[in-house]
A = this chain, B = another copy of it.
């Protein structure tokens, strides 16, 4: 492995904003990517346990999506179509209905928003406020929902919030499950909302990630999610699941709330929605809430036609049968076992997450950063999350070959051992 040469990096120093971040931890120039493997300009290969922060659940450059996209471009299919009708949009919607919505009995409609998660979240907020005529929204500690002002107001992280430079009103932050020791967080929320003198204004919506991606891979239990959905209904609030990071198979099935017996009023999707890493986002809306006036919320790049093409292939290839689900279940078990082992050897460490969205809370961010840096030297790309960046987070492509997956976990294991600031407990 080599670092990028001067000539190549000079352009970034000279012309790219200081806001860039991941490239600081992985200072090579990437040339190609296939499946779970990234290759740099010098030909070095890396296993990808970051997967575009869960935007590449099916890996890089899936051959079927790739072929379909090339074919689309070659025959001069539209690249940009605003919200005009195209065959590609119709095919995507049809596949989404057929493979995702109908099997679940979901009557939801698809609202194409600007192709980023934060835009989808902003649209969902607007609609919830319009539907209910209320302003306040309940969000949860350690939640992350985006960086534009409406979504940022929902976000817990003080550093990100501080970036706003303005107050972030119209949101009440409540504790996520298990964030307060033994406190019954649902009871807390219910009591505050039931007390007309609590000072908490009646909410338009609850918005929650079932596994908090940026917040440290905190996974809500089925009981908590069900209870939360009931509370939302009790208090006249819409229940919005932000499935941008945890959805599209990441936790084992398409939605993170599958098999929980709930049906959210809205669901936000982005990241792996296109299947190929292309910008694409949407909000699923129960039809009775779909009271938008035409163009009341819009955006130039809503409905990315290239993304329709790859997303349709992804739906047909991976969600027409149970193969991926079964594969993810197997890998999830491997992941849980290996991470449990590793965590067990670090004093105070804890396993976090659910499905293929797992990590180890190693207790402090500096230690976690050293582990990731060591992994990178060994050919594994992996990152942290959490309020203090204290969780080493495994977000491998769901489709990663089992052998490569195990090798990646071996690297992580070795890196933890190499970086541990204290003698590691014997296995």
Contact = CB atoms under 8 A, between A and B. Distances in A.
A196 B276 CA distance: 34
A31 B89 CA distance: 11
A21 interface: yes
A185 to B, nearest CB: 10
So how many copies of this chain end up in the complex?
A: 4
Given A156-B199, A279-B304, A69 B73 contact: yes
Interface string A302-341: 0010100000000000000000000000000000000000
Given A15-B109, A17-B290, A34 B81 contact: no
Interface in A11-29: 11-12, 14-24, 26-29
A323 to B, nearest CB: 23
Contact of A299 (B118, B158, B167): B118
Given A141-B192, A279-B304, A296-B160, A30 B78 contact: yes
A188 B156 CA distance: 16
Interface residues of A, number: 153
A191 interface: yes
A160 B123 CA distance: 12
Interface in A133-177: 135, 139-143, 146-151, 153-161, 163-173, 175
Contact of A116 (B90, B114, B139, B387): B114
Contacts of A26: 84-85
B114 A11 contact: no
A74 interface: yes
B8 A299 contact: no
A171 to B, nearest CB: 7
B122 A199 contact: no
Contacts of A135: 165-167
